[in-house]
Chain A
Amino acid sequence: MTVPKQPVLILYSSQTGNAQDVAERIGRETQRRHYAPRVLPADAYAPHAASLPGEAVLVWVASTTGQGDPPDNMRQLWRLLLRKSLPPDLLAGVRAAVFGLGDSGYPKYNVVSKKLLRRLEALGARMLLPLGLGDDQHRSGYEAALDPWLQQLWPALRAHFPLPPGATEPAPGDTSTDLVCKYRVTWLQGEEAAAAAAAAAAAEAAAAAAEGCFGAAAAHREALAAAQLFDQVEAAAAGLPLGSDAAQQPSSRAAGAPATTAGHAAGVSSSAGGGYGPRRPYWARLLDNRRITAPSHFQDVRQLDIELAEDASLAFQPGDVLAMVPQQPAAAVDALLRRCGWDPQAWVRIEPVAAAAAGTAADGSSSGGHRPAVSATVRLGALVAGALDINGGSPRRFFFQVLHRFAVEELEVERLAYFSSAEGRDDLHEYNQREGRTVLEVLTDFKSARIPLEWLLQAAPRLKPRYFSIASSLRAHPRCAQLAVAIVEWATPFKRRRRGVCTSWLAGLDPQQGEARLPVWVERGALRLPPSPEVPLILVGPGTGVAPFRSFLQERQAALLADQVPRPAPCTLFFGCRNEGGDFYFRSEWEEMQAQGVLAPAPGGVITAFSRDAPDGRKVYVQHCVREHGAALWALLAAGAWVYVAGSADKMPAAVAAAFEDAAVAHGGLGKEEAAALLRRMELTGRYQVEAWS
């Protein structure tokens, strides 16, 4: 008879996967210490938030993004916790611990975890130990703070929850040599394999044809279907209720993770477009893919026209984003399978090593709650292509720890041990994350490592969807979503050329060469038009940041041309790029809108900053233009204009905010603090909206 283990709820709020890593590590280490952990993204827990007061132990790992914002997958639960109506002893039965990941190079250092701790305390939770503050600026990154914090966490927990009878603590220096895999893989042979193959092939062919997928798109579809089945197994292994895709990794924008996006938690609210979502994408026809920067310009920016479903099931609002899952190059997938010595045509069955096997259900219920058996029977080649990011994102330290177990050659074993250690962290960072090393490259560098499939599934990064702001309005272009996509390419510190996984795939799609299909769905964006068209808009969108504003303006344009009442107020657009002759895309469209009165007439209306055009070599950016036009902007603000800022994060949003504050001081007679308070008020009431991605 097994004594039920103490359940521990581990939530993570992760933007780039670091907080998730930390949470998963804490999960492994609590499991070794005979607790029953559940590791989930915060918003996956939001539907069950009522259970929170009943959780005996809560560990929360929360990242702060550069601008001081919480990650997307925390927004809903955080919002619930901020409600004024909650009593101060709501969480009196909860013992909690918070670890924050942040970067002290930014002013709002670790504010998310600090606020979280304060709020949990205000709701009566008792902290097991002080807030842990992981800092990217530290030589060893967040782990410099995490290791000592964990050393304090274990005795703090043990003081309240004694060891089950017969169990022993792991030795202090023990570096988890008894890693347990979440999955069990069965390689189907002979009859079983043939049967699985036949059944699946028929079903797949029919489904693909029904959705218009042929050729490469059919392969893509098969891959995503396999990944979808694996998601269910992953969710079961994590102890999540079935049907929830909370196990899916946090989303990231094409060029990185968004700093502010009102993304919604998987499985909670439905997508903006009815019925389609990450579990069931719509296979959209690519109508057009044309370059909108000058051929001689160094950056390749495309306008993609994507045809949406005939019925209104993929309707979107201006400001919404289109999500899609990229297709990895077949050559890379083949190379990986060859390297691992696997047959792409092999069929495998993946099952979770539950929970159930450990003697207690994953959710800790002592009844040993019986779950229906979950398994995924898939073709190996499809699974790897659809589920694992083998040619893009870098694996994390845990991957190297796992690889260490399976390396044979002495030099490799030694090096992998070093990379897995605290001392080797810097060198690992330089070799791996900083250099953008892919799973395929790591496996190629460590040739002797024979990693089993179940471990690859557990340790390799998952293939994530990418998000693009929709640059058109349905009123101007019905049944269509237009995107402005900058093809991502950069040079690593070691001078190797890297390309973005999604944008390089998109760049190669040519509708003229036969039908190209993209798996897409709509997600709610962060930016929203004001309810009334009478509100004048100030739009600041350098580069591809202008995309959501094009959808805003097209919407206003449609209203104006239809003689709608009340009449839309003229707007002001600040656009920044490098050269007037190189990347001033959509120029003729803005000029037309000025003539129509959608944008204010010259010299206002469309204000441009061409950063590389100044004869004296001075770099002019949108924030300089904002400051220059301070008087006119102040008049607009005083008349109730709403401000929108979109584009690459880094310094731009803060610089623009500072420019607006300066305008308030210079032309509105406000003091510095009053100006800052005004902007803060506007932010809180939705009159100043920012969508920034890194």
Chain B
Amino acid sequence: MPTSLVLTSAPAVALQQLQALLEAQGLSAAEPVAVATGSGSLAAGTLAAAAYDTIISVASSQGHHSVALLGVLAAALKPGGRLVVQEPGTSNADLSKALLLSGLPGAAPAPGGGLAVTKPAWQTGVKAAIALKPRGAAPASAAPAAAASAAANGKGGTWTLALDGEDDDGELVDDEALLTEEDKQRPAPAAKSDDCEVGAAGRKACKNCTCGRAEGEATEVKLTKELLENPTSGCGSCGLGDAFRCGGCPYRGLPAFEMGKKIELPSDFLAVDL
């Protein structure tokens, strides 16, 4: 038989009021109905999960149906179940928003008053089925005696391993909540002056160069046709290949070559304008 839950924010409710409410929502008091008063102090986990086909919650004060409370009610609804929320004085828009934030989109005005929304009939969340071997089949590890007995003392011993597709996301700790405020900090970006040295963009002087790099670049040796025909090297290392060349080497990107011998450009060298 379908089960309904009616909640009111008031500390006490008259039976006639209850009946009127149920009738207005198309429910009969002959079916199993649970009643809760003082819904403002309803804590998470106090209602059985996925237990009710219909939940009706009325409140007299604005803002009573907080996202937190609506979340508690949503959890108590069966998939496919219907939640009706009445909060006179609060606009439908605000109430819909609160419902949306608590995970129940698609609210619409209910015939008996208030807003109604249906909990999706399917389970949300991405799951991976994992089959794990039970403890006994694990390869033996030489756990020191102390650790082994601590585990065996029953404290850690009952760690169930079998995970099936039924495993609900709700059973996992929210990993974001693990982080402290301090954890969320990150170090200030390093002084950017350092970055003039390294980095893909790093080797060119900036437009408003004050450090002298621009002057250096003006005198930097560029690769020219002449150099390709008759390569020379001040340092003597240019011909050895990229591994041995210094930062400003005009030959960088080219394979190893012999001094004085014409360099053939390899096909994967994207020719600079020569």
**Interface residues, chain A, with chain B CB atoms under 8 Å away:** 4, 7, 9, 46-51, 53-56, 75-76, 78-80, 82-87, 89-94, 104-107, 109-111, 114-115, 118-119, 122, 135, 137-139, 241, 262, 264, 268-269, 363-367, 369, 411, 415, 419, 426, 429-431, 434-435, 437, 442, 444-446, 491-498, 524, 526, 528, 530-532, 637-640, 668-670, 674, 677-678, 680-681, 684-687, 689
Contacts and interface: CB of A to CB of B under 8 A. Distances in A.
A137 B199 CA distance: 10
Contacts of B141: 7, 9, 51, 54-55, 363-365
Nearest to B200: A493
B211 interface: no
B156 A268 contact: no
Nearest to B123: A531
A51 B132 CA distance: 12
Contacts of A106: 186
B143 A54 contact: yes
Contacts of A264: 128
B209 interface: no
A446 B244 CA distance: 10
19 contacts: A51-B139, A51-B143, A93-B144, A110-B186, A115-B178, A118-B178, A119-B173, A269-B128, A365-B140, A411-B244, A442-B243, A445-B241, A496-B268, A496-B270, A638-B100, A639-B105, A640-B105, A670-B101, A685-B124
A242 B254 CA distance: 46
A92 B155 contact: yes
Contact of A82 (B106, B128, B130, B175): B175
Contacts of A681: 101, 103
A104 B187 contact: yes
B143 A93 contact: yes
Interface of B: prevailing SS: loop
B9 interface: no
A79 B171 CA distance: 10
Given A90-B156, A111-B179, 14 more contacts: A47-B133, A84-B173, A90-B155, A115-B175, A115-B178, A137-B187, A365-B140, A429-B198, A434-B200, A444-B255, A493-B200, A531-B122, A638-B106, A669-B94
| Chain B interface bracket (under 10, 10 to 19, 20 to 34, 35 or more) | 35 or more
Nearest to A531: B122
Given A91-B156, A445-B242, A50 B138 contact: yes
Interface of B: 93-94, 96-97, 100-101, 103, 105-106, 120-126, 128-135, 138-144, 146-148, 150-151, 155-156, 158-161, 163, 169, 171-176, 178-180, 183-184, 186-187, 189-190, 194, 197-198, 200, 240-244, 252-253, 255-256, 268-270, 272
Contacts, number: 235
Contacts of B101: 670, 674, 677-678, 681
Nearest to B183: A114
A84 B171 contact: yes
Interface centre among B96, B142, B200 (most CB of A within 10 A): B142
B225 to A, nearest CB: 16
Given A92-B155, A264-B128, A435 B242 contact: yes
Contacts of A86: 159
Contact of B131 (A9, A56, A269, A437): A269
A668 B194 CA distance: 45
Contact of A431 (B194, B197, B242): B242
A494 B138 CA distance: 51
A38 B94 CA distance: 56
A620 to B, nearest CB: 25
Contacts of B135: 50-51
A372 B270 CA distance: 53
Nearest to A369: B140
Q: In this complex, which of A84, A419, A430 has the most chain B Cβ atoms within 10 angstroms of its Cβ?
A: A430
Given A50-B138, A640-B105, A56 B156 contact: no
A366 B269 CA distance: 57
Contacts of B142: 4, 7, 364-366
A262 B97 CA distance: 31
Given A104-B189, A365-B140, A640-B105, A54 B148 contact: yes
A118 B181 CA distance: 13
B79 to A, nearest CB: 11
A506 B8 CA distance: 66
Contacts of B146: 93
Given A50-B159, A435-B242, A528 B189 contact: no
B183 A118 contact: yes
A668 B148 CA distance: 56
Contact of A684 (B131, B169, B244): B169
Contacts of A78: 175
A56 B148 CA distance: 9
B156 A87 contact: yes
B171 to A, nearest CB: 5
A50 B151 CA distance: 10
A616 to B, nearest CB: 24
Nearest to A124: B156
A315 B123 CA distance: 24
A363 B121 CA distance: 48
Given A496-B253, A670-B97, A363 B171 contact: no
Given A135-B187, A668-B97, A83 B270 contact: no
B199 to A, nearest CB: 9
A513 to B, nearest CB: 23
Nearest to A641: B105
A122 B142 CA distance: 24
A106 B189 CA distance: 10
Contacts of A684: 125, 169, 174
Contacts of A411: 240, 244
Chain A to chain B: the 10 pairs with minimum beta-carbon distance, closest first: A93-B147, A494-B253, A54-B143, A109-B186, A640-B105, A531-B122, A50-B135, A118-B178, A497-B268, A445-B243
B73 to A, nearest CB: 16
A83 B171 contact: yes
Contacts of B171: 83-85
A313 to B, nearest CB: 18
A79 B163 CA distance: 10
Contacts of A363: 139-141
B183 A53 contact: no
Nearest to B198: A426
Given A76-B128, A135-B187, A434-B200, A492 B172 contact: no
Nearest to A527: B126
Nearest to B237: A411
B132 A46 contact: yes
B106 A115 contact: no
A445 B253 CA distance: 12
Most chain A C-beta atoms within 10 Å of own C-beta, residue among B96, B131, B138? B138
Contacts of B174: 684
Given A48-B133, A53-B151, A83 B269 contact: no
Given A139-B194, A638-B100, A49 B161 contact: yes
A445 B160 CA distance: 55
A109 B268 CA distance: 37
A678 B244 contact: no
Contacts of A80: 130, 163
Given A50-B135, A119-B173, A681-B103, A686 B159 contact: no
Contact of B270 (A85, A139, A495): A495
Contact of A685 (B100, B103, B178): B103
A89 B128 contact: no
B91 to A, nearest CB: 10
Given A56-B144, A92-B150, A415-B243, A685 B125 contact: yes
Contacts of A689: 126
Contacts of B155: 87, 89-90, 92
Contacts of A367: 140
Given A55-B143, A411-B240, A492-B253, A114 B194 contact: no
Contact of B269 (A79, A495, A668, A677): A495
A352 B84 CA distance: 67
